[in-house]
Structure 1
Amino acid sequence: MKRKILTKTALALMAVLILSLVACGGAGGGSAGPASNGSGSPDPEAPAPEPTEPEPSTPQEPVSDMPSLNRPETEKTWVFIGQDNASVGGNFTYSNGYVDHLGVPAGITSYLGFGFDCLPVLPGLATSVDYGAGPINLKHYLDSGTLDGVRIHLSLDMAYGDSEVAIANGDKDACIEQMARFMGDYPEVFFFVRPGYEFDGAHNHYEPEAFKQAYRRIVDTFLEYELSNFNTVMSSVTPATKAGRWEQYWPGDDYVHWVGYSLFDSGLVLGASEPATVQFARNKQKPVFIAEAAPRGYQLDELSESESLALWDSWYRPVFAHIEQHADIIGVFAYINADWESQALWADEDWGDTRIQANVWLRSLWEEKVSTQGVTPSPE
């Protein structure tokens, strides 16, 4: 599910998209809205950008000086938590999130978007913004002191207003350069950058050639700034996405460090078979990044003990079994620890409340399975 700006029109459209995605197994995610009034607040009068056609693709040159792959040791899986400042906690303004109850995870998920004018600032990078899916301010995490050493999973929206086309054509270079300078100011922080997340989701309607050009342009800009503190992630909307679909959007082996997917339906990873995206990752010799995950539709704060244990068996246990079964290749598990229903963008859309700290029984089981850094590899 894409992060969208919270105007009346956009919210109505998003509701339709979400409902259609439910029918086809779509995913969920944070909020990196497409319009800003320059102060970090949504601008309800801002028109959507006019889509244009991407310029013809130029021959792809080999990538040089890409940063080395950064992944945990074999059989280890880092746990990341998202997806907004309040849900994560441990920062200047918010102190009732995951970090405040369960400790500092291996990484944190945050979101930015390119569907708006980023000048003078890119909202959510060093200024606070809330598009209806929780507050976003990446700088608050990095300057908090509580989260020293944390890794950042930075998801970049390229969908609204066909902004992947604008990126491909160079119209968003100023936004990318702001990100590059920001990342350069924190050389001790490692960033996992996920451009155009859920590339194959119907809610994103990415044009394949423009997507590939945009993805490469972002990476090339980072390299021009001589950044060495990042890896790239390319993720699908489901672990079942087949190789042919991946290849449609693939920007090139040299441009992608990690292959990822969203995981909201535990049924997609039940059984002994290897999901298509994991097979694709193996064929590409890339590690796997589970980029968004949570059990949709459950109010964890309202479940009884028996209901909680049943949910553990139906969602958490199969997901952890999936991670353990493919521990040689799955390096990151990014969980969304949010009270979705309290956020305007997701209200009445049956996303629920997936905060681990809100349920004493699930919290206990989670803590047995997840250390502050990652998933415990041994079977239960």
Structure 2
Amino acid sequence: MNLTVRQMFIVAIAATSSIFTGAYAQIKTSVDSAYIYPYEKTKYVPPVDKTLLIVGQSLSKINEYRAFTNDNNNPAGWSAYWAVTEFSGFKGPWTTSSGDTQDHHFLVKKFDNMVLHSAMWMVGKWEIAKKTSEGQYDNVIQKYARWAKKTDRPVYLRLGYEFDGPHNELEPREYIKAFRHIVDVIRKEGVENVAFVWHSYASTPYKNYALSEWYPGDDYVDWVAISVFFQPYDDIFNHKETNDVINFAKEKKKPVMIAEANPVNGIDKDDPKVWNGWFVDFFSFCYNKNIKAIAFINENWPRMNISGIGGWKDARLYNNAEVAEKWLIETRKDRYLKQSPELYQELGYRRKK
């Protein structure tokens, strides 16, 4: 069965009444009142009882997702990636070293009434962060700033995503200097439509540095974000590093985004336990902790040339009919903000045009 036919089949299933009510009902939708607090020094936060829905992360998987949903239920935003070292993927498609294609330009030109979830690669290796703070990539950052300003939409920019991940080898002092420098350069260009996102790996940190040692400061951070990959398989509610970040955001009065999420053990078409084994706890956690934005990665990991992800499996939503149906039922709730003429108003963004 080719992909297009399979997608049409799953969409047809999603249109019927649920035959998996028991599994679906296990999502707990109560919100812990401790995580309902006033936000300070931030921007583009969804209203109470609303969550921003974002999908990514490569152009091909975004297009597959659009076909899967019949292009009638676009999320509020798409994810795209770039590197602080080069201005690529903003005038046309850019194929990265991992083999995927990124295209900020296409996402902005093709989709109106949507936000952009933009991830900027910056690591400690090869002195990338050090060179960034010294101004060696200012030309790239300035080009990005001018481009982002012209998009006339909310842009959520993750600077040096997963800053505390051992794979990035970022020393806290270098990271903070680079983060602040990038923000200063973008602000100097008069850009007001970018929200700066501080994205933690939310797992065992590099050299066991304390989370607070990486924090650039309240005036530089609009959102706090985490990655969620393995946590739902093993009691995410009691995962120390994840909760440390959530509680740190609460202390700083910042909204929380799950900036990267995917069931990396795979979504096998014949496995009836996938939904309960990852998604139920994932969504229950999002409700409980009042997560204000979710960015799901719809990806077939074995095809990606990324070091450190050995054993990660094909986790595209439409591989499994039950998962596909449940995802559509959950994300079509009014709770999740999607592409619409009212989206910018809901986020407090006023268009310039």
Alignment of 1:9-158 (within 5 A): 69-89=43-63, 97-102=64-69, 103-114=73-84, 116=85, 118=86, 122-130=87-95, 131-144=97-110, 147-158=111-122
- Whether 1:238 and 2:202 are equivalent positions in the alignment is yes
Which residue identity does 1:152 align to in structure 2?
Answer: L
Structure 1 residues 67 and 85: alpha-carbon distance in aligned structure 2, compared to 1, 3 A threshold: farther
Residues in 2 aligned to 1:362 and 1:184: alpha-carbon distance in whole angstroms: 38
- Verify the 8 A CA contact 1:152 1:192 in the aligned structure 2: yes
Q: Which residue of 1 aligns with 2:20?
A: none
Which residue identity does 2:98 align to in structure 1?
Answer: G
- Verify the 8 A CA contact 1:105 1:372 in the aligned structure 2: no
- Whether 1:254 and 2:254 are equivalent positions in the alignment is no
Alignment of 1:290-329 (within 5 A): 290-298=258-266, 300=267, 302-304=268-270, 307-308=271-272, 310-327=273-290
Structure 1 residues 323 and 347: alpha-carbon distance in aligned structure 2, compared to 1, 3 A threshold: closer
Which residue identity does 1:104 align to in structure 2?
Answer: N
- Verify the 8 A CA contact 2:164 2:170 in the aligned structure 1: yes
Structure 1 residues 373 and 350: alpha-carbon distance in aligned structure 2, compared to 1, 3 A threshold: farther
- Verify the 8 A CA contact 1:239 1:268 in the aligned structure 2: no
Which SS does the other structure have where 1:178 is aligned? Answer: helix
Q: Which residue of 2 aligns with 1:19?
A: none
Which residue identity does 1:269 align to in structure 2?
Answer: I
- Whether 1:281 and 2:245 are equivalent positions in the alignment is no
- Verify the 8 A CA contact 2:82 2:89 in the aligned structure 1: yes
TM-score (norm 2): 0.76
- Whether 1:162 and 2:123 are equivalent positions in the alignment is no
Q: Which residue of 2 aligns with 1:206?
A: 170
Segments of 5+ residues of structure 2 without an aligned counterpart are: 1-39, 338-353
Deviation at residue 140 of structure 1 after TM alignment: 0.9
Q: What do the CA deviations read for 1:135-180 (whole angstroms, capped 9, x no partner)?
A: 1111011112xx2111111111111522111110011100100100
- Verify the 8 A CA contact 2:41 2:218 in the aligned structure 1: no
Higher mean Cα deviation, 334-343 or 287-296? Answer: 334-343
Structure 1 residues 67 and 222: alpha-carbon distance in aligned structure 2, compared to 1, 3 A threshold: farther
Residues in 1 aligned to 2:308 and 2:181: alpha-carbon distance in whole angstroms: 35
Which SS does the other structure have where 2:165 is aligned? Answer: coil
Which residue identity does 1:213 align to in structure 2?
Answer: K
Higher mean Cα deviation, 314-323 or 155-164? Answer: 155-164
Residues in 2 aligned to 1:373 and 1:156: alpha-carbon distance in whole angstroms: 30
Segments of 4+ moved more than 4 angstroms: 239-244, 271-274, 372-376
Structure 1 residues 210 and 68: alpha-carbon distance in aligned structure 2, compared to 1, 3 A threshold: same
- Verify the 8 A CA contact 1:258 1:289 in the aligned structure 2: yes
Higher mean Cα deviation, 314-323 or 241-250? Answer: 241-250
Q: Which residue, 152, 171, 174 being the options, matches 2:136?
A: 171
Q: Whose helix proportion is higher, 1 or 2?
A: 2
Q: What do the CA deviations read for 1:21-50 (whole angstroms, capped 9, x no partner)?
A: xxxxxxxxxxxxxxxxxxxxxxxxxxxxxx
Q: Which residue of 2 aligns with 1:5?
A: none
Higher relative contact order (CA 8 A, sep 6+): 2
- Corresponding pairs, count: 289
Structure 1 residues 123 and 333: alpha-carbon distance in aligned structure 2, compared to 1, 3 A threshold: same
Alignment of 1:209-220 (within 5 A): 209-220=173-184
- Verify the 8 A CA contact 2:42 2:221 in the aligned structure 1: no
Structure 1 residues 295 and 335: alpha-carbon distance in aligned structure 2, compared to 1, 3 A threshold: same
Q: Which residue, 291, 295, 298 being the options, matches 1:334?
A: 295
Q: Which residue, 293, 300, 312 being the options, matches 1:351?
A: 312
- Give me the CA root mean square deviation: 2.6
Segments of 5+ residues of structure 1 without an aligned counterpart are: 1-65, 90-96
Structure 1 residues 223 and 268: alpha-carbon distance in aligned structure 2, compared to 1, 3 A threshold: farther
Structure 1 residues 359 and 347: alpha-carbon distance in aligned structure 2, compared to 1, 3 A threshold: farther
Residues in 1 aligned to 2:201 and 2:59: alpha-carbon distance in whole angstroms: 24
Question: Identity over the aligned pairs, expressed in percent?
Answer: 25
Which residue identity does 1:227 align to in structure 2?
Answer: V
TM-score (norm 1): 0.71
Q: What do the CA deviations read for 1:90-125 (whole angstroms, capped 9, x no partner)?
A: xxxxxxx112222311111111112x4x3xxx1122
Structure 1 residues 374 and 334: alpha-carbon distance in aligned structure 2, compared to 1, 3 A threshold: farther
Structure 1 residues 184 and 256: alpha-carbon distance in aligned structure 2, compared to 1, 3 A threshold: same
Residues in 1 aligned to 2:225 and 2:54: alpha-carbon distance in whole angstroms: 13
Structure 1 residues 110 and 276: alpha-carbon distance in aligned structure 2, compared to 1, 3 A threshold: same
Residues in 1 aligned to 2:309 and 2:175: alpha-carbon distance in whole angstroms: 32
Q: What do the CA deviations read for 1:286-307 (whole angstroms, capped 9, x no partner)?
A: 1101011101121x2x421xx2
